[in-house]
Amino acid sequence: MRFATGMVLIDAPHSALNMLGIDESLADRNVTRVKTFRRGGKRYPYVSPQAWRYWWRFTLKEHFNWELSPLYREQKQVFTAANPLKYPDDDVFGYMRAFKKGGVNVTVTRVSPLKNTPLISILPDRSSVTVDEGYASRHEGDPVPYSQEFYSTVFKGAFSLDLDSVGRFTIISKAGFKNLLTWDDVPKDKKGNPKKGTEDVVNEIKEMERIAEELGVKRTGKEWVMPPEIRKKRATEAIKALRLLTGGAKQSQYHTDVTPKFVLLLNVDAGINPFISDLVFEERGEIRFDAGALAKRLKDLKEVIPKNARLCIGYDEGFTRSLGWDVNEIAKTLEKAGVEVFIGTVGEAIEEFAKEIEAYYG
| Mean pLDDT within 324-334 | 97
The answer to whether the CB of 44 falls within 8 A of the CB of 36 is yes
**What's the confidence (pLDDT) of residue 51?**
98
Mean pLDDT computed over every residue of the chain: 94
Strand partners, 201: none
Domain membership of residue 186 as a residue range:
50-115+168-225
Q: Which of 193, 237, 206 is nearest to 59 (CA)?
A: 237
> Are 271 and 334 part of one and the same domain?
yes
**What's the confidence (pLDDT) of residue 102?**
73
> Are 193 and 333 part of one and the same domain?
no
> Are 345 and 250 part of one and the same domain?
yes
**What's the confidence (pLDDT) of residue 146?**
82
Tens digit of pLDDT for each residue in 218-245? 999 899 999 999 999 999 999 999 999 9
225, 243, 272 — which closes off a domain? 225
pLDDT band at 98 (very low <50, low <70, confident <90, very high): confident
> Are 173 and 268 part of one and the same domain?
no
**What's the confidence (pLDDT) of residue 141?**
82
> Are 346 and 277 part of one and the same domain?
yes
User: Which sign, positive or negative, has the C-alpha torsion 244, 249, 251, 257?
Assistant: negative
Measured at the CA of 303, the angle between CA 299 and CA 346, to 5 degrees, comes to: 60
225, 241, 270 — which closes off a domain? 225
- Number of Cβ within 10 Å of residue 174's Cβ equals 9
Strand partners, 311: 341
Torsion angle of the four alpha carbons 199, 204, 206, 211, in this order, in degrees rounded to the nearest 10: 160
Torsion angle of the four alpha carbons 12, 15, 20, 22, in this order, in degrees rounded to the nearest 10: 160
> Are 102 and 187 part of one and the same domain?
yes
Integer Cα distance of 227 and 236 in angstroms: 15
Q: Which of 231, 94, 248 is nearest to 176 (CA)?
A: 94
Integer Cα distance of 135 and 139 in angstroms: 11
DSSP H helical ranges for 216-337: 228-240, 251-254, 291-300, 317-323, 327-336
> Are 203 and 271 part of one and the same domain?
no
Integer Cα distance of 255 and 12 in angstroms: 9
Q: Which of 120, 150, 125 is nearest to 9 (CA)?
A: 120
> Are 247 and 356 part of one and the same domain?
yes
pTM for the full predicted model: 0.94
Dihedral pair phi/psi, residue 321, rounded to 5°: -65, -40
> Are 37 and 61 part of one and the same domain?
no
The answer to whether the CB of 150 falls within 8 A of the CB of 15 is yes
For the chain, report the end-to-end CA distance as a whole number of angstroms: 15
225, 250, 267 — which closes off a domain? 225
Tens digit of pLDDT for each residue in 119-156? 999 999 999 999 988 888 788 888 888 889 999 999 99
| Mean pLDDT within 248-276 | 96
Integer Cα distance of 122 and 287 in angstroms: 7
Looking at the predicted structure, is the pLDDT value of residue 75 above 80? no
Integer Cα distance of 49 and 52 in angstroms: 5
Strand partners, 147: 31, 133
pLDDT band at 107 (very low <50, low <70, confident <90, very high): very high
- For the sheet containing 168-170, what is the strand order? 168-170, 223-225, 218-219
Looking at the predicted structure, is the pLDDT value of residue 280 above 90? yes
Q: Structurally, how many domains does the chain consist of?
A: 2
**What's the confidence (pLDDT) of residue 135?**
82
> Are 198 and 343 part of one and the same domain?
no
Three-state SS at 271: coil
Integer Cα distance of 17 and 1 in angstroms: 35
> Are 175 and 270 part of one and the same domain?
no
Looking at the predicted structure, is the pLDDT value of residue 349 above 80? yes
Dihedral pair phi/psi, residue 210, rounded to 5°: -65, -45
Three-state SS at 241: helix
> Are 93 and 22 part of one and the same domain?
no
